[in-house]
Amino acid sequence: MADAQRDFNHQGLWSYLPWIFLEEEQRAKSRKRIAGHAGQRWAVFLEPSTAVDPAALEAVLAGYDAKDPWYLGRSLKDENMVIIHHYQQEPAYPLAPAGFAISASLLQLLVQNLKEHPLSSGQQIEPVWELADRLAKKLQVKITDRRDAFCSERAGGCATWVNNIDIHRSSHSLRPESVVIAVKTVSTFHDSRVKLVQDFWAGTSPVKVLFLSNEAFGAVPGAQVVDLSPEFGDMVDPKKEST
């Protein structure tokens, strides 16, 4: 997606929806075609930790007609309602590190829907769920669970699986004291959220945690809330900064 962001000169391509829209629009304008079975085009989304067996993946996709709207992956569903999914338990969404696939037909339907109902200025908290939500609610297409092919770990028959990439990472001699975690907050939520974060994980974090806000706050022992307004002024005014 970093390459796409550079090619399209568009910010925000860490999110699937604008990336799909721009890629499909560019494809339509240039009339590109991918070699293979006529009309059998798929977009397969992978992450750095996704391992792939190309022959097995091709065999899985060959079992579906890409001229129909298909959305394949390892289906997940929340057991409890959580803020990251806007307190909803539907729809199911794919395990992104295991990869997922969308047929050409569904890509085209999604682009048309985005033209008719453009993305709002609202936040996309978790892009993989936001994509599933758009497909389910706007196009009535839910994920087809193929956990036998899109695997959480390598096993017989897997087309993709989640690889542990930690073994390839260098520590660069970093220690906890070399790192700072910044938690963005705002005065409205100091009472309810700073204590929650501090009690849940920040208070025991081996890494220094700073809460960055528009006002000072000292009611939670151990929580360091930094008032950014003396330095940044209106830029951290909640009424202005989000725009």
Helices vs. strands in the chain: H and E counts, helices first: 7, 12
Examine the domain organization and report whether 155 and 192 are in the same domain: no
Residue 239 placed within a domain: no
- Percentage with pLDDT > 90 across the chain: 65
Examine the domain organization and report whether 156 and 184 are in the same domain: no
Residue 240 placed within a domain: no
Average pLDDT over residues 89-115: 96
Place of tokens 């959580």: 82
* 38 three-class SS: coil
Examine the fold and report which residue of 104, 139, 164 is the final residue of a domain before the chain moves on: 164
Average pLDDT over residues 148-177: 89
Examine the domain organization and report whether 137 and 28 are in the same domain: yes
Residue 243 placed within a domain: no
- pLDDT, one tens digit per residue, over 61-82 is 999 999 999 999 999 999 888 8
Examine the domain organization and report whether 159 and 197 are in the same domain: no
- pLDDT, one tens digit per residue, over 127-156 is 999 999 999 999 999 999 999 999 999 999
Residue 131 placed within a domain: yes
Examine the domain organization and report whether 5 and 101 are in the same domain: yes
Q: Which of 8-17, 26-35, 98-107, 164-173 has the highest mean pLDDT?
A: 98-107
Examine the domain organization and report whether 84 and 138 are in the same domain: yes
Res. 222 pLDDT band, cuts 50 70 90: very high
Residue 39 placed within a domain: yes
Res. 35 pLDDT band, cuts 50 70 90: very low
Give every CB contact of residue 147 below 8 A, 6+ residues apart in sequence. Answer: 74, 75
State the total domains in the chain.
2
pLDDT score of 173:
82
Between residues 120 and 4, which one has the greater pLDDT? Answer: 120
Examine the domain organization and report whether 76 and 39 are in the same domain: yes
Mean pLDDT of the chain: 88
Here the tokens at position 129 are 């769920």
Residue 171 placed within a domain: no
pLDDT score of 238:
76
Examine the domain organization and report whether 46 and 85 are in the same domain: yes
pLDDT score of 51:
96
Cα first-last separation, the chain: 24
Can you give the residue range of the structural domain that contains 187? 176-233
Examine the domain organization and report whether 38 and 124 are in the same domain: yes
Average pLDDT over residues 82-90: 87
Query: Per mean pLDDT, which range of 73-82, 99-108, 165-174 is the poorest?
Result: 165-174
Examine the fold and report which residue of 143, 164, 185 is the final residue of a domain before the chain moves on: 164
Res. 172 pLDDT band, cuts 50 70 90: confident
pLDDT score of 70:
97
Burial class from Cβ neighbours inside 10 Å (0-12, 13-18, 19+) for residue 105 reads middle
Place of tokens 């079975």: 37
Between residues 236 and 72, which one has the greater pLDDT? Answer: 72
Examine the domain organization and report whether 78 and 193 are in the same domain: no
Examine the fold and report which residue of 164, 188, 218 is the final residue of a domain before the chain moves on: 164
User: What are φ and ψ of residue 174, in 5° steps?
Assistant: -75, 140
Which segments of 61-196 are extended strands (E)? 71-73, 75-76, 93-94, 100-103, 144-145, 150-151, 160-162, 180-184
